[in-house]
Amino acid sequence: MSSVTIEFQSLSKQYKDVLAVSNFTAQVHAGRVTGFLGPNGAGKSTALRCLLGLVNPTSGQAFIGGGPYSALHEPIRSVGAVLDSRGFHPGLTAMQNLKVMASASGIDFARIEEVLKIVDLEGATHKRTKGFSLGMKQRLSLAIAMLGDPEILVLDEPANGLDPIGIVWLREFLQKLASEGRTILVSSHQLAEMQNTVNEVLIINKGVLVAQGTIDEIRRGKSLEEAFLDLTLGRSA
């Protein structure tokens, strides 16, 4: 088994009357693409935001790269994250947005050309992002996440807005990164696509972990969608 790089330990997050995440414990391993699945409002995004230090857990903790995110030295060089498709200013060009992020973390601007090439956005370098399609925004978010050439990628619904070609590109992109030994944690609603992309699966429902294992262990001969519905709706197998 490869090493654990992301760990949730009894993580809970309460928002007033809503328990978004409840006693969530899970591990994510290096060299794998781990799918983080659950219905809308299941607590996926909250758990990821707790992991990245953006939301304070009510109890429990989350570790990434051996400690809390806030303890990482130059975190952008260890962890890349895509949490939504709005993480950049619409009035700036792709290049300007990337320069803002690169300069904040002392990354050489030469890396910007590289990441734009990786996400296939070279043709839109000097275009203001308010004119970007959702798919282009997702690619730019991925470019920002890749700026520091991180060992760990945390992606929240990265396939949203991508066309079929973009989805295939994303699948191959994530699998290539995992084959390099990187850790990929990716949340998604697109179960059919996840089935072709991930090696391991975490399923969360109503804030509670309901299943964790390899894709084959979770599917047990069914489609991922069927297995997911069985687990989240409590249907009999």
Partner 1 sequence: MKNLLQSELRKLIYLRANWLLLLWSGLFAALGTVAPIMVLNSENNRMGFSGTNTPEGINAVFSNAAGGYLFALIMGILIMTNEYRHGTAVGTFLVTPKRSTVLLAKLIAASLAGLVNQIFSYIFAVGSGLFALTFFEPHAPVPGELLMKVFRATVISGLVLGIVGVGLGALVKNQVVAVTGAVIWTLIVEGLIVAFVESVGKYLPAGAITGLVNVDFGENEFNFAIENYLSPGPATLVLLGYAAVFSIIAMRTTLRRDLD
Residue 69 backbone class (left: φ over 0; alpha: ψ -120 to 50; beta: rest) = alpha
Among 25, 59, 66, 100, binds partner 1 (CB under 8 A): 100
Closest separation in Å from C-beta 184 to partner 1: 17
Looking at 100-108, 158-166, 192-200, 202-210, which segment touches partner 1 (CB under 8 A)?
A: 100-108
Binding to partner 1 by residue 106, rule CB under 8 A?
Answer: yes
Binding to partner 1 by residue 55, rule CB under 8 A?
Answer: yes
Among 10, 105, 133, 214, binds partner 1 (CB under 8 A): 105
Among 8, 36, 69, 132, binds partner 1 (CB under 8 A): 69
CA atoms within 13 A on the CB side of 5: 22
Binding to partner 1 by residue 101, rule CB under 8 A?
Answer: yes
d(CA 8, CA 60): 8
Binding to partner 1 by residue 132, rule CB under 8 A?
Answer: no
Binding to partner 1 by residue 94, rule CB under 8 A?
Answer: no
Closest separation in Å from C-beta 109 to partner 1: 11
Binding to partner 1 by residue 76, rule CB under 8 A?
Answer: yes
Looking at 30-38, 68-76, 158-166, 200-208, which segment touches partner 1 (CB under 8 A)?
A: 68-76
Q: Of residues 155-174, which lie at the interface with partner 1 (CB under 8 A)?
A: none
Residues near partner 1 (CB under 8 A): 46, 49, 52-56, 69-70, 72, 75-76, 79, 81, 83-84, 86-92, 96, 99-101, 103-106, 144
